Amino acid sequence: MQRKTKWIFITLIVLSISLIATFLFIGLTPAGWDYALPRRGRSVAAIIIVGSAIAFSTLIFQTITNNRILTPSIIGLDSLYMLIQTALVFFFGTLGLVFFSQEANFLMSIVFMVLFALLLYALLFRGEQQNIYFLLLVGIVFGTLFGSLSTFMQVLIDPNEFQSIQNRMFASFSNINVDLLWLSIIILLLTLLYVFPYLKYLDTLALGRDHAVNLGIPYDKVIRRFLIVIAIMVSVSTALVGPIMFLGLLVVNVAREMLPTFRHSTLAIGSILVSVVALVGGTLLVERVFAFSAPLSVFINFIGGAYFIYLLLRGTKN
Amino acid sequence: MALNMLERQKSQFETGDIALEVKNVSKSFDGKKVVKDVSIGVRKGSITSFIGPNGAGKSTLISMMSRLMSHDSGEVLVEGKPIKSYKSDELAKKVSILKQANNINIRLTVRELVSFGRFPHSRNRLSKADWGYVDNAIDYMELRDMQDKYLDQLSGGQKQRAFIAMVLAQDTDYIILDEPLNNLDMKHSVSIMKTLRKLCDDLGKTILIVVHDINFASCYSDDIIAMKDGELAAQGHCHEIINPTTLKKIYDMDIGIEEVNCNKICVYFT
C-alpha cells in the first residue's frame, strides 16, 4: 500500500471515530446515559451498516457497468422498494403492515428486488451485444414506472394510511427498528460470505467484458451474482433507513478522487469510510444544527447533486 | 525417462496437427447470418492470417473461436475438446484474444495493464516469476521507457502495443489478435509481425491474426484463411492463396503479384 493511501485511511478512520464519538456523547448528561446511549448506539450501527452497503453496492455496480457515474438506484431498485411498501398498504391497509411482521415485509422486499435484478440481468446480459445505454434506459423507465405506480396508489389511499408510508419515504436514522437491525446484520454477513469468492474478479472486471472473458472470468455467472448482491444490499439499506442511494455516487467518487488506484480492495475500504463520515456528519448536521428541520436525504441529494453536476462538467472537458 | 517423455509427447498436440478447429459454425445477429456454415482448421505452431473484405465475418469467427461469442450451431474445438467444455480459467491459460477496440474506463499504467495478463495464472497476487513474464512482455513490445505512463497519455499505437504486451504476458499456447496492426506505423507493424514470427518459431506458439494489409499476411504467415460474405472463400498455405485468381475471387479486384526478395508482394494501389 502506498504511503499516501495509508495516510488517507488513517485520516478517514480518525475522522469517522471522532464523529461517531461526538454523535454518541454530545449533550449527554449522566442521568440520560441508560436511555440515550443504547438508542444512539443503534443509530450508529445502522449508519455503519447502511453506509457500507450503499458504498459497496455502488462501487461494484459501477465496476460491472464500467461507468463511474451510475448508482444502483438508476435501475429503479429503490423505487421498487417504495412500490412494494405502497402496494402493501394499498391492498391490505395499515393492517397490512401489522399483519405482515416487519421481518416478513423486509424479507419479501428483498426477494422481490433480487427477482427484479435477475429479470434485468436476463434482459441485458443475454447475448453478446449488451449495451450500457440500454441498461440505463430500461432502468430509468422501470424506475419511473414504479415511482408513478406508487404515487398513483398513494393518492388513492386514506390520508392516515398515507402517513404510514410517508414515514418510509424519507431516510432517517433517528428511529431504527432493532429487530430489523439484527436481521440486516445477519443478511449482510451472509451476502458477504456469498460474494467473497468473487471479489478477486472485481479489478479485472473493470477492464470490460472482452478482457475479463479473455482473462478467464466466468463473466455471466459473476455478473449475475454481483447483481443479486447489489439488490440485497440496496434493499437492506433502503428497508433500514429509506431511499438514500444517491449517497453512493457521492462517496464512491470522492473515494476514487482521493485514492488514485484501480484496486477494489483499497477503493472499497475508502468508499465505506467516506460513506460513514458523510452519514454520521450529515446526521449530526440534521439533528444538532438544523434541529430536524429537513431530512437527511435533502442534504445528501443537494451535496451529491452538486457534485454530480461537477463530475459531468469535468467529464465533458476531458 | 526418455520413454516417459515419448508418452507425454504422444498425448499432446504436435506442431503441424490441427489444434484449433471450427466445424460447420454459423452465427446470426438479428436474423442476419454473418457467419455461414464455416469449417476451418488451424495448425499448431503456425501463424494463420484471416483476410477478406470488411464485413466478411472474420472478427465474428475469431470471437467465436475464443468464446467471446457463442456460436449458434456447429462446433469449436480446442485441442480436440469442445470450447464449451473448458472451465473459463483453464481456457484463459490456453487461448488469449485481443479485440480491435480496446477502451477501458479506469486509469492504469502500462505496467499495471500488462500485469493483468498474469491474472489467469496467479489471480491478483503476482509472484516473482509472474513479474518476470510482465517484464519480458514489456521488453518484447519496446515499452520499457513508458511502462509507468498512464494509458490515456499514450498514442493509439503505443496503447495498442501495451494491449499486445498484456496478451503476451498471459503466455498462452494460442494467441488470437484482431487487427493488431491497427493504429501502428510501419516500423512498429513490422516489429510486431517479426515478434509474432519469433514467438511462433522459437516458442511454438500458435498465432491467429486478422490483417487488412495483404502483404503482411503474405510475408509473415504460414497459412491463410480468406472469408467473404460470411463464407469461407479460401483456405490453405500462404503461397496457395496469394495468386491473382484466388485474390480476385476474394476481393473482386485485379491484384498483381511481384516477387521481391523471395516475398510475394501484392500490388493493388493502381
DSSP per-residue string spanning chain B: -HHHHHHHHHHSPPTTSEEEEEEEEEEEETTEEEEEEEEEEEETT-EEEEE-STTSSHHHHHHHHTTSS--SEEEEEETTEEGGGS-HHHHHTTEEEE-S----SS--BHHHHHHGGGHHHHTT---HHHHHHHHHHHHHTT-GGGTTSBGGGS-HHHHHHHHHHHHHHH--SEEEEESTTTT--HHHHHHHHHHHHHHHHHH--EEEEE-S-HHHHHHH-SEEEEEETTEEEEEEEHHHH-SHHHHHHHHSS--EEEEETTEEEEE---
Is A318's pLDDT higher than 60?
Answer: no
Contact B98 A207 (CB under 8 A): no
Confidence band of B47 (pLDDT split at 50, 70, 90): very high
Q: What is the pLDDT of residue B9?
A: 44
Report d(CA A56, CA A70) in Å as an integer. 13
Which residues in A lie closer than 8 A to residue B148 (C-beta atoms)? none
Q: What is the pLDDT of residue A127?
A: 58
Each residue of A81-128: pLDDT tens digit?
Answer: 889 888 888 888 776 666 677 788 888 888 998 898 888 888 776 655
Confidence band of A266 (pLDDT split at 50, 70, 90): very high
Q: What is the pLDDT of residue B11?
A: 44
Which residues in B lie closer than 8 A to residue A67 (C-beta atoms)? 105
Report d(CA B176, CA B48) in Å as an integer. 10
> What are B's interface residues with A at a Cβ cutoff of 8 A?
29, 63, 66-70, 87-93, 96-99, 102-108, 112, 116-117, 119-120, 123-124, 167, 170
Number of domains in chain A: 1
Q: What is the pLDDT of residue B5?
A: 45
CB burial readout A150-173, b (16+ within 10 A) else e:
beebbeebeeebbebbeebbebbb
Identify the residue among B71, B86, B116, B123 best suited for mutation to test binding to A, counting A beta carbons within 10 A and taking the highest: B116
Contact B90 A216 (CB under 8 A): yes
Which residues in B lie closer than 8 A to residue A206 (C-beta atoms)? 104-106
What's the mean pLDDT in B208-231? 93
CA distances from A67 to A62, A135, A253 (A): 5, 12, 11
What length does chain A have? 318
Crossing angle of helices A3-25 and A33-65, in 10° steps, is: 150
Structural domain that includes position A169: 3-317
Confidence band of B164 (pLDDT split at 50, 70, 90): very high
Q: Pick the residue with more confidence: A18 or A82?
A: A18
DSSP summary character for residue A174: S
Residue type at position A209: R
Can you read off the three cell numbers belonging to residue B25? 459454425
Q: B62 with B208: CB under 8 angstroms?
A: yes
Confidence band of B262 (pLDDT split at 50, 70, 90): confident
What's the mean pLDDT in B108-129? 93
Residue type at position A216: G
Percent of chain B with pLDDT over 90: 65
Q: What is the pLDDT of residue A123?
A: 77
DSSP summary character for residue A72: G
CA geometry: angle at B242 spanning B237 and B248, to 5°?
Answer: 130
Kindly report the CATH number assigned to the domain that includes residue A57: 1.10.3470.10
Can you read off the three cell numbers belonging to residue A105? 415485509
Identify the residue among A1, A211, A258 best suited for mutation to test binding to B, counting B beta carbons within 10 A and taking the highest: A211
CB pairs under 8 A between A and B: 66
Each residue of B16-43: pLDDT tens digit?
Answer: 788 899 999 999 988 899 999 999 999 9
What's the mean pLDDT in B4-10? 44
Is B178's pLDDT higher than 50?
Answer: yes
> What are A's interface residues with B at a Cβ cutoff of 8 A?
66-68, 128-129, 200, 203-204, 206-208, 210-211, 213-219, 260, 262
Q: What is the pLDDT of residue A312?
A: 72
Q: Which helix (H) or strand (E) holds A217?
A: none
Q: Pick the residue with more confidence: A77 or A129?
A: A77
What's the mean pLDDT in A273-300? 84
CA distances from A42 to A46, A48, A174, A176, A181 (A): 6, 10, 9, 7, 8
Which residues in A lie closer than 8 A to residue B97 (C-beta atoms)? 210, 214
Report d(CA B246, CA A243) in Å as an integer. 65
Residue with cell 495498442: B160
Contact A214 B90 (CB under 8 A): no
From A111-115, A185-189, B73-77, the region with the lowest mean pLDDT: A111-115
What's the mean pLDDT in B57-81? 92
Is A175's pLDDT higher than 70?
Answer: no
Report d(CA A79, CA B266) in Å as an integer. 62
Is B12's pLDDT higher than 70?
Answer: no
What's the mean pLDDT in A218-236? 90
* pTM, entire model: 0.89
Is B182's pLDDT higher than 70?
Answer: yes
Q: Name the 3-class secondary structure at A279.
A: helix
Please name each of the domains of chain B with its CATH number: 13-91+173-181+205-270 (3.40.50.300), 95-171 (no CATH)
What's the mean pLDDT in B229-243? 92
Picking from A67, A215, A260, the nearest residue to B119 by CB comes out as: A215
Is A2's pLDDT higher than 80?
Answer: no
